[in-house]
Structure 1
Amino acid sequence: MSHTDPILLKHKVAVITGAGRGIGRAIALAYARAGATVVCSARGEAEIALTASKIREAGGRAIAQSADVGDYEAVAALFRRASDEFGGVDIVVANAGVATELRPIADSDPALWRKTIDINLTGAYHTAHAAIPHLRRRGAGKIIMIGSGQRNRPAPGFSAYSCSKSGLWMLTQSLAVELQELNISVNELIPGPVRTELTRDATMPPGEWVKEPEDVVPLALFLASMPNVGPSAQSYSLMRRA
């Protein structure tokens, strides 16, 4: 997206979790090219520092702050810093996710199964909950959840991941209903199969459009720039290429 409109997100402040690699990094770089100030967050300090550095080297504004989305206080501190440094928050991309337990339920590790739920679902809840007061003060905003088609497609070994993404879908629906009167839109972006660290060892579905992280950018830009009116809680999918 080297030709991203540099004024599309001008004066907007975006907080992106999981911004150190893959889809999160691609979105962070694209939002910055579109004029947004970007707050890059993830657990790995070195990776988000590199993302923020790339944005600044290109003339954009960005900071990096490490936060584990499973730790609510860390997430709340992330949004406080975003508001303190840049005056508020306009766009939130809840992208942080893991797939730590990829075994049949009978053979699964309960601790790893719960960790997947804690990060993918509870982490998204933490992100939205901590963001709402800052979005409310702006009078409008966007929350974009990075979902998965795996939420409605059971597969052996994917119970934890699928359950977490199913819960994320309902969290998106619930937030949209509750935040509509605050002019905060909430939507789910379903990228489909993407080549990332998370999918490095996965078998890609035959016949599917297997995307690079940059292929997710146009839809992420659309959801960040669309008007705060009309239907919310829609699931926008990057379908198979014709």
Structure 2
Amino acid sequence: MTTLAGKVAVVTGAGRGIGAAIAKALAAAGATVACASRSVAEVEATAQRVRDAGGRAIARRCDVGDASDVAALYEAVAAQEGGFDLLFANAGVSLDQRPVGASDPAAFEETFRVNLFGVYHCARLAIPHMRARGGGRMVVTGSGMGHSSLHGHAAYSASKAGVWMLVRILADELRADGITVNELVPGPVRTAMTGVPQREGSVVNNPIEWLKQPEDVVPLAMFLATHPGPGPTGQSFSLMRRTF
């Protein structure tokens, strides 16, 4: 596949899990991929795997909750590649899985800093770069917990609900610029962050739900990256069956 030849993509949370899988797939389709993560070792490992497979990759440390980090990431990509066309805002955390009354305010705030403000910084600062390229695609990793409530996950659910609203607002604001903005809801994925309990490939407390590996999310991510213009925008694409 060379459907993304000549394109440049930025993927946050690319050190492992879904982000790493998406970064490798984008590169395999011909894109130059800027891999970003708070872990230098992990993101450099992802970039090296891309290069070993014959792709082009940039590795950068970036805390998406810090606007100056995001700006520095984009400036580095623009200096080396002239700009970028695709943004996969994938970085996220789940730090406090307790009811609101028993929650840790610091962990609650940190969850919002990364999950919601991280998407805000990534999207806001990407706009001028994508406008300069004549358009682009933003894909944000959302969650089913951002659409329906789940006991004990207040911080994560509320932050992802904010992300879903931000996606729709951005889509309306950027439609005229040829920039699409969509949400990708992976559903349960076996990653270091989620630690989803499993039994024979399904989720223990919901056996009809499809428990995925990170690579199982790639086909939907690639659909959103390669769909002919103008393409869908302001929509949520889900691999999840469960309604909380």
Equivalent in the alignment of 1:200: 195
Partners of 2:211 and 2:6 lie apart in 1 by 33
Equivalent in the alignment of 1:227: 228
Partners of 1:230 and 1:32 lie apart in 2 by 21
Unmatched 5+ stretches in structure 1: none
Partners of 2:216 and 2:224 lie apart in 1 by 14
Q: Is the 8 A contact 1:141 1:228 kept in 2?
A: no
Q: 1:202 to 1:151 in 2, by over 3 A?
A: farther
Partners of 2:20 and 2:125 lie apart in 1 by 21
Partners of 2:180 and 2:196 lie apart in 1 by 34
Equivalent in the alignment of 2:216: 215
Q: With structure 2 as the length reference, what TM-score do the two structures score?
A: 0.94
**1:60-71 superposed matches below 5 A:** 60-71=55-66
User: What displacement does 1:157 show?
Assistant: 1.2
Partners of 1:10 and 1:112 lie apart in 2 by 41
Equivalent in the alignment of 2:163: 168
Q: Is the 8 A contact 2:63 2:69 kept in 1?
A: yes
Partners of 1:150 and 1:209 lie apart in 2 by 16
Equivalent in the alignment of 1:132: 127
User: What displacement does 1:161 show?
Assistant: 0.4
> Which of structure 1's runs of 4+ aligned residues deviate more than 6 A?
none
Q: How many residues align?
A: 236
Equivalent in the alignment of 1:55: 50
Equivalent in the alignment of 1:11: 6
Counterpart code for 2:43: I
Deviations 1:185-224 (A, max 9, x none): 0000001100001111667441200000000000000100
Counterpart code for 2:36: S
Matched, 1:120 2:120: no
Deviations 1:115-136 (A, max 9, x none): 1011000000000011111111
Q: Is the 8 A contact 1:91 1:224 kept in 2?
A: yes
Partners of 1:35 and 1:62 lie apart in 2 by 11
Q: CA RMSD in A?
A: 1.4
Identity %: 54
